[in-house]
Amino acid sequence: MHCKSTRTRSDDNMKEKLKTCLELFWVFLRVGAMTFGGGYAMLPILQRELVEKRRWTTDEELTDYYAIGQCTPGIIALNVSTFIGRSKAGLPGAVSAAVGFEFVPLIIILIISVFLEGFADNEYVQHALAGINVCVCVLILNTLLKLRKSTLKGAFSLVVFFAVFALAAMGKFLPFSVPLPVLVIAAALTGIIAGQIKEKQKQGGKAE
Amino acid sequence: MIHQAMIYLQLFYEFFKTGLLAVGGGLATLPFLNAMAENHGWFTVEDVSTMIAVAESTPGAIGVNMATYAGFITGGVLGAVVAVAALTAPAIIIIMLVAKFIDQFKTSPLMQNAFSGLRPASMALIAMAGLGVAIPTFFDTAAMQAGNWSAAFLWKAMILAVAIFLGQKFLKKIHPTVFILIAAVAGIVLKL
């Protein structure tokens, strides 16, 4: 009897996990189908689906995933999807999210490469994409304004934000540039050093 | 038969390498694709520029889309699946390791301080990526460089942006993907 009860519990656990994985697959399938551009373009949809609607993660955590996704190797969108999938359901969750994200684009590309030569040069496709790009810009702006409340608190974070932004912008207009992963790692080190200094000041204050 | 199987293995190897070494996503895969075109002759360098155009005009991450296209040209549908799987594998392995590491030191003040620097940096890079899309979307950079200021501002795009911004402000319940679909239609109607 005892044995049976633990078995049903683990069965329930399995079922729960399977359900989570299917939900991850489904959410990321829709995210993948509506993301035009790089990983940043999916941020507004992720924020709505995962933070506001499902409360699977917070604004801070989502920003963290992007920070890590940008300095680890690989496609940023995939890194972020994997990260979120893992936090919900471990390795199976990570795979569900990544495969879900890739599913629709893969099918669309296959259809286009078999049937639709010159799809990308089509006049209507170009107009539609121009419209989508306008929308993506606005959505990102609005999402950043939302995330700002939880991620840009205090003078230190504002200084880091503008410093990284300026250095990254320099790369676009000047012949030399700082690789983005280097910027991200430098920002992390700055955070550690600033924390250390604060700690010392606190101790100094106490000693007096 | 064996030759065919070899191609899939090579495809897997090449895209695994790309997934492992291309930092920054998207167009960071470009040099790897050019190298494949040169070393294996699976596709030409011209094919690569078609790949970029298709990858940018279809949904999904640009890097994944380029892998799909390249895999398909090289080895059909199975080739596409192999290429995408190979590109994904390193991302999953690396993120699993990094996430485990972060979980372990989550409560350490050192890690928390690191994240206090990481978060604003992450915001800045997303803002930068957004700006990268915004400039060619709202300005005709060629006209700008020619000093033709009357043509430099893409008014229709700017007006659409304001409309979407107001729409999002007042219709908070509407899903972002709905705005994307509306914008696509608006783009066609306004001939953006």
The model's confidence at residue B89, banded by pLDDT at 50, 70 and 90, is very high
User: Based on the structure, what is the number of domains in chain B?
Assistant: 2
A124 touches chain B (CB under 8 A): yes
Closest partner CB to B188 (pick from A66, A131, A162): A131
User: Pick the residue with more confidence: A57 or A4?
Assistant: A57
Residues 76-115 of B with CB under 8 A from A: 77, 80-81, 84, 87-88, 90-92, 94-96, 98-99, 102, 109-110, 112-115
Average pLDDT, chain A: 86
- Structure-token pair, residue B169: 């402000």
Q: Cα dihedral sign for A176, A182, A186, A187?
A: positive
**In terms of domains, do B7 and B100 share one?**
yes
- Asked if pLDDT for residue A90 goes beyond 80, the answer is yes
Helix, strand, coil in percent for chain B, rounding step 5: 85, 0, 15
- Which residue carries 């229709």 as its tokens? B156
Range of the domain at B85: 2-104
**In terms of domains, do B26 and B89 share one?**
yes
Q: Decide if B128 and A168 are in contact by the 8 Å CB cutoff.
A: yes
**In terms of domains, do B10 and B100 share one?**
yes
- Structure-token pair, residue A138: 């606005």
For residue B183, being part of any structural domain is answered with yes
- Asked if pLDDT for residue A1 goes beyond 50, the answer is no
* Section B92-114 average pLDDT: 90
Q: Decide if B95 and A120 are in contact by the 8 Å CB cutoff.
A: no
Closest partner CB to B177 (pick from A45, A94, A165): A45
pLDDT at A104 (0 to 100): 94
Average pLDDT, chain B: 88
* CB contacts, 8 Å: A86 with chain B: 95-96, 99
For residue B121, being part of any structural domain is answered with no
For residue B119, being part of any structural domain is answered with no
For residue B114, being part of any structural domain is answered with no
How many CB atoms within 10 Å of residue A33? 18
Q: Which helix (H) or strand (E) holds B86?
A: helix B62-104
C-alpha span between A23 and A137 (Å, rounded): 28
Region of poorest pLDDT, from A46-50, A116-120, B145-149, B154-158? A116-120
**In terms of domains, do B90 and B131 share one?**
no
Q: Decide if B72 and A109 are in contact by the 8 Å CB cutoff.
A: yes
Tens digit of each residue's pLDDT (9 = 90 or more) over A158-185: 999 999 999 888 876 777 778 777 888 8
Q: Decide if B95 and A79 are in contact by the 8 Å CB cutoff.
A: yes
**In terms of domains, do B90 and B21 share one?**
yes
The nearest alpha carbon in chain A to B174 belongs to: A48
**In terms of domains, do B86 and B170 share one?**
no
Q: Decide if A168 and B161 are in contact by the 8 Å CB cutoff.
A: no
- Asked if pLDDT for residue A22 goes beyond 90, the answer is yes
**In terms of domains, do B140 and B79 share one?**
no
Rounded (10°) CA dihedral B6, B60, A84, B164? 170
Region of poorest pLDDT, from A28-42, A128-142, B19-33? B19-33
For residue B7, being part of any structural domain is answered with yes
The nearest alpha carbon in chain B to A63 belongs to: B119
Region of poorest pLDDT, from A118-127, A150-159, B96-105? A118-127
Q: Which positions ≥6 away from B116 have C-beta within 8 Å?
A: A156, A157, A191, A194, A195
Is residue A142 within 8 Å of B168, Cβ to Cβ? yes
- Structure-token pair, residue A88: 């919900």
User: Pick the residue with more confidence: B94 or B26?
Assistant: B94
- Asked if pLDDT for residue A2 goes beyond 90, the answer is no
Q: Decide if A156 and B116 are in contact by the 8 Å CB cutoff.
A: yes
For residue B111, being part of any structural domain is answered with no
* Chains A–B, number of C-beta pairs less than 8 Å apart: 352
pLDDT at B126 (0 to 100): 86
* CB contacts, 8 Å: A131 with chain B: 160, 183-188, 190, 192
Task: Give the percent of chain A with pLDDT over 90.
Answer: 42
* CB contacts, 8 Å: B99 with chain A: 83, 86-87
Is residue B89 within 8 Å of A95, Cβ to Cβ? no
For residue B116, being part of any structural domain is answered with no
Residue ranges covered by each domain of chain A: 2-151, 153-208
**In terms of domains, do B135 and B74 share one?**
no
**In terms of domains, do B78 and B151 share one?**
no
Q: Which one of A62, A99, A106, A125 would you mutate to disrupt binding with B, by most B Cβ within 10 Å of its Cβ?
A: A106
Closest partner CB to A180 (pick from B58, B109, B125): B125
pLDDT at A205 (0 to 100): 64
pLDDT at B26 (0 to 100): 64
Closest partner CB to B115 (pick from A64, A139, A196): A64
A178 touches chain B (CB under 8 A): no
Tens digit of each residue's pLDDT (9 = 90 or more) over B165-179: 999 889 888 888 899
Q: Which one of A29, A46, A75, A161 would you mutate to disrupt binding with B, by most B Cβ within 10 Å of its Cβ?
A: A75
Tens digit of each residue's pLDDT (9 = 90 or more) over B30-84: 888 888 988 988 888 888 888 888 888 889 988 888 899 999 989 999 999 999 9
Find the angle CA(A80)-CA(A53)-CA(B61) to the nearest 5 degrees.
30
A177 touches chain B (CB under 8 A): no
- Asked if pLDDT for residue A204 goes beyond 70, the answer is yes
Q: Decide if A40 and B102 are in contact by the 8 Å CB cutoff.
A: no
C-alpha span between A48 and A140 (Å, rounded): 12
User: Pick the residue with more confidence: A208 or B90?
Assistant: B90
